[in-house]
Amino acid sequence: MTVILSQSFTGISIGAVLLLIALGLSLTFGQMGVINMAHGEFIMAGAYTVYVVQKSIDSAGTSLLISLPLAFLVAGAMGVLLEWLLIRRLYARPLDTLLVTWGVSLMLQQLARDIFGAPNVNAQAPSWLSGRITLVDGEHSLTLAHSRLFILGLAIAAVVALTLTLRRTSLGRRIRAVVQHRDLAEASGIATGRVDRITFFIGSGLAGLAGVALTLVGPIGPTMGTNIIIDAFLVIVVGGIGQLRGAVIAAFALGVLQAVMEYSTTVSVARVTVLVAIVAFLQWRPQGIYTLRTRSLA
Amino acid sequence: MLEITELVAGYGRSDVLHGVSLTVPEDGVVCVLGHNGAAKSTLLRAVLGLIRPSGGRVRLDGRDVTRLPAHRKVRAGLAYVPQGQQSFPQLTALENLRLVADGRGRDGAHALDEALDLFPALRELAGRRAGLLSGGQRQQLAIARALITRPRLLLLDEPTEGIQPSVVAEIQRTILELAGRGGLSVLLVEQHIDFALRAAQRYHVLEAGRITSTGEGGEAARDRVREALTV
Ligand SMILES: Nc1ncnc2c1ncn2[C@@H]1O[C@H](COP(=O)(O)OP(=O)(O)OP(=O)(O)O)[C@@H](O)[C@H]1O
Ligand SMILES: [Mg+2]
């Protein structure tokens, strides 16, 4: 039982990372109506940011704290660049956008191989994240790793910040307006092109944060983004596209299911089981947990 | 104030607006009448820049603004109420207005208040999602939203189409009042001939993307316009 619980907790922290990625992905999805295939490489960029910062700063703790905002900036800037160079020329051409961003994704992976080499590298976790909290002691001990608690806290903070920004600020109103009715927004005096770029900055920045989080629990490599982006995409589909509540439920459900199954079977059996579960779920509820009403996040 | 010359515009490769010229004088009201599909809405969209004109010129106070993006034209003093009671459906009525008032500082808040004074019914509906409002309420919201930028020229596309009669009268009264205040010119697209001619000093009949008849507004023009529209 305690094993199931501790596996569940592992799943929750993975779910938290998935949620970060999925939120960023659906933010840019709302803007361009198509999945940005290079979103996974923004995660990778965030992770390599930690690696690079650690090369120049010895203290793992300090470098982690510097990496968080820096990874957001790096990934966000990459998103803005992608939007500005390519995507904005392809609005209303979804298939082209899909192919182009996929191409960019492959190029970025190769770029990472050229710069950092093909093998995975590791970042050091700060000492204050290497401990564990013991909840139940004794024979059936239940412990929670600090690093996973940190990831959970980071994700919650990011989700709350994003929600508040979207719901309460004038920037949030502009973002939602552009997603809901682009022409009317433009005709109301909103510089929709600029709002697009800001949205890409935030959405891609969240991927950068997710990348930092992933360095605490696993290796950094050129294909790390591709591996997890599929799961994030599943979160969006299962949660209901553009639905915040749906994404939260789906992310944690997916994370926990995967982690628990991995413990009771093998990694690949777990993988297949999760996919079968999702296919079955979508047969029953093709629209996801929550119904798609608009493409808006809020 | 607004000078449109030989404006050509369309969708994709095919033009539906074939060289329209008209002017709206300072403080004047000019209406465009025409059947469904005559390209009335296309004309307004091309003037604002929501679709890119493929020929002709749009001048605002003598300045060529043909290629200016729509949001820049709004900053230059244009405002637009599109056809069909459009809003941001998931934003509340108040958010629909604040969206435009944001970034305009004190004056924005002031303008928002004045817009609400114009349609007091909107005050009670402030917290409701615009998508849940009735057509008439949404149209009032759309007009209020357009006025918050304090435009000098208002483009109105069939402001009373498909709205229950009680609200039609209120909207028409408001338009006449706004036009009479001074400082605001109006380019009005209408299917209600009587109202259009009452509001406008000048009318243009648009047919299949061309102006086929034009003259002074007022009661006297009614028969001529009817005739122009039936042939
Ligand atoms: N988005 C669009 N894409 C392609 N063609 C369009 C589009 N919008 C309008 N059209 C075409 O352009 C022509 C003019 O349409 P427009 O909407 O300007 O007419 P209208 O005079 O405003 O009509 P109504 O009185 O019904 O509003 C029509 O033939 C219409 O089919
Ligand atoms: Mg029309």
pLDDT in tens, B62-92: 999 999 999 999 999 999 999 999 999 999 9
The domain locations on chain B are: 2-84+145-230
Largest CA distance in chain B: 52
Predicted pLDDT of residue B38: 92
CATH code for the part of the protein at B2-84+145-230: 3.40.50.300
Of A235, A216, A237, A215, the residue nearest A225 (C-alpha): A215
Q: Residue B167: count other Cβ atoms within 10 Å of its Cβ.
A: 18
Q: Residue B114: count other Cβ atoms within 10 Å of its Cβ.
A: 13
In the predicted model, what is the mean pLDDT of residues B187-196?
A: 92
Q: Terminal CA-to-CA distance of chain A, rounded, Å? A: 37
Which one of B75, B88, B102 has the shortest CB-CB distance to A184?
A: B88
Predicted pLDDT of residue B225: 81
Ligand 1 atom closest to Cα of residue B43:
18
* Residue type, position A286, single letter: P
Predicted pLDDT of residue A291: 59
Nearest CA to ligand 1 atom 10: B11
Decide which of A145 and B47 is more confident.
B47
d(CA A15, CA A249): 9
d(CA A70, CA A46): 8
Q: Give the H or E element holding residue A200.
A: helix A192-215
Predicted pLDDT of residue A296: 41
Which one of B70, B82, B90 has the shortest CB-CB distance to A176?
A: B90
Q: Residue B188: count other Cβ atoms within 10 Å of its Cβ.
A: 25
User: A276-290, B54-68, B94-108, B146-160: which range is least confident on average?
Assistant: A276-290
d(CA A26, CA A241): 7
Of A176, A295, A189, A178, the residue nearest A236 (C-alpha): A295
Whether residue A72 contacts residue A209, with contact meaning beta carbons closer than 8 Å, is answered with yes
Beta carbon of B39 within 6 Å of any ligand 1 atom: yes
Predicted pLDDT of residue A270: 81
pLDDT surpassing 70 at residue B30: yes
Nearest CA to ligand 1 atom 30: B37
- The percentage of chain B sitting over the pLDDT mark of 70, rounded to a whole number, equals 100
Angle at A90 between CA A88 and CA A91, to 5 degrees: 75
The per-residue pLDDT of chain B, averaged, comes to: 92
Number of residues written out for chain B: 231
Predicted pLDDT of residue A298: 39
Q: Which structural domains are found in chain A, ordered by start?
A: 2-119+145-284 (1.10.3470)
Ligand 1 atom closest to Cα of residue B189:
22
Of A196, A283, A188, A176, the residue nearest A237 (C-alpha): A283
Provide the 8-state DSSP code for A126.
P
Q: Residue B194: count other Cβ atoms within 10 Å of its Cβ.
A: 12
Of A203, A201, A202, A210, the residue nearest A228 (C-alpha): A210
CB contact under 8 A, B99 and A294: no
Judged on CB neighbours under 10 Å (0-12, 13-18, 19+), B13 is exposed
Beta carbon of B45 within 6 Å of any ligand 1 atom: no
β-pair partners for B78: B153
Query: Helices A244-264 and A267-284: crossing angle, nearest 10°?
Result: 140
Of A150, A145, A159, A214, the residue nearest A19 (C-alpha): A159
Gyration radius of chain B's alpha carbons: 17
Put simply, whether A192 touches B (Cβ < 8 Å) is yes
Q: Which residues have C-beta within 8 Å of that of residue B48, sequence separation ≥ 6?
A: A187, B70, B73, B78, B80, B155
pLDDT tens digit at each of 298 positions of chain A: 777 888 888 899 999 999 999 999 988 887 777 788 999 999 999 999 999 999 999 898 999 999 999 999 999 999 999 999 999 888 778 889 889 999 999 999 999 999 999 999 999 888 888 888 887 777 777 778 899 999 999 999 999 999 999 999 999 999 999 988 999 999 999 999 999 999 999 999 999 999 999 999 999 999 999 889 988 988 988 887 767 788 888 899 999 988 888 888 888 888 888 888 888 887 887 777 765 444 444 3
In chain A, residues 269-298 whose CB comes closer than 8 Å to chain B: 293-294, 296, 298
pTM of the complete model: 0.89
